[in-house]
Amino acid sequence: MDFSDTIGVSAAGMRAQQARLRIAAENLANAETTGASPGADPYRRKTVTFKETLDRSTGVSSVEVKKVGQDMSNFQMKYDPSHPAADEKGYVKMPNVSSIVEIMDAHDAQHSYDANLNAMQASRAMLMRTIGLLKD
């Protein structure tokens, strides 16, 4: 594995974590988004699935987003008869988003992004030192 491979692997990891962070932010932003009419489904939590990719020519493995899916867990029901989306019993379907889970996912994605950035910066620094040695 050469320097360009390590930088490429780190960049792929950063892209994957960026997608994860974007989805967590979208979920948080929609944590209270209900349906527009009685009985309508509210916002459904999105999930990110990763997959490992292998560059057969170099033998280098990296990560990328496989798909952005939906969490099919049940919606929470909240009693609020004055809400426009309340059913005949006064209950409103609420999104299946947990703010705590999304904040933890965002925090974990940020740490993973930072780790990939640090690896990329270390590879770049080694490359620059190598170039400096070759110049002397």
Residue-wise pLDDT for 81-122, tens only, equals: 999 999 999 999 999 999 999 999 999 999 999 999 999 999
Tell me what pLDDT residue 1 has. 59
pLDDT (0 to 100) of residue 59: 86
Q: Which residues of 45-82 are buried (b: 16+ CB within 10 A; e: fewer)?
A: bbbbeeeeeeeeeeebebbebeeeeeeeeebeebeeee
The pLDDT value recorded for residue 55 is: 87
- Give CB contacts under 8 A, 24+ apart, made by 115-121: 115/13, 116/10, 116/11, 116/13, 116/14, 116/17, 117/10, 117/14, 119/6, 119/9, 119/10, 119/13, 120/6, 120/7, 120/10, 120/11, 120/14
Contact 46, 27 (CB under 8 A): yes
pTM of the model: 0.85
Decide: 112 and 13 in contact? Cβ < 8 Å: yes
Identify any residues that bridge with 91 across adjacent strands, giving them in sequence order: 79
The pLDDT value given to residue 135: 84
Tokens of 69: 């899916």
Give the closest residue to 92 by CA, choosing from 106, 81, 103. 81
